[in-house]
Amino acid sequence: MTSTTRTKLGVIAVTAMMLLFLGVGVISAIQFISTGQLIPVLIGVAVLALCGVGLWFIVTELRFGFGMQSMARQLESEGGLLLDDLPKTPAGRYIREDADAEFDRVIASADPNRWQDLYRVALSYDAAGDRGRARKTMRAALHKFRASNR
């Protein structure tokens, strides 16, 4: 089984568990609200609000993931994906110095107005171990990608 298949199965499993949890939460919230007493009603409303936040989070992350897949497919069809040929440790992590050198090369040639370049910069951030900037840059790339495909 490929790592992509395992990742997709993992996403499906976690999403299904989260939706099950949200369903139980909504049922519990309705039961609390149906008592008509102040404290249980407030608890029920709070649980419904938390379920709403959870559902928003699931939808947002799934849209992000699907968007990343769409960008990767388009870049692949254009021949613009970076080769994953950086040396790795036995644990599968990139060797920091090599990832940093690749990052410097990618960022030096990047045009911040092109989603393709932002996508590659985000991958380079990730390879260099900066996951926060990688996600932020990938979100910017996704925003430009969606704007260019409207």
Nearest alpha-carbon partner for 13 in 24, 25, 5, 23:
5
Look at the alpha carbons of 74, 79, 85, 86 in this order and tell me if their dihedral is positive or negative.
negative
| pLDDT (tens digit per residue) in 26-76 | 999 999 999 999 999 999 999 999 999 999 999 999 999 999 999 988 988
Whether residue 19 is predicted with pLDDT greater than 80 in this model: the reply is: yes
93-to-56, 87, 96, 99 alpha-carbon distances in Å: 32, 9, 8, 10
d(CA 95, CA 73): 27
- The helix-helix angle for 3-33 and 38-78 (nearest 10°) equals 160
**pTM of the entire predicted model:** 0.78
Nearest 5°: the CA angle 92, 97, 101 is 110
CA 27 to chain centre: 29
Q: Which residue has the tokens 């409303």?
A: 45
| pLDDT (tens digit per residue) in 84-141 | 667 777 877 777 777 777 777 788 888 889 999 899 889 888 877 788 999 999 999 9
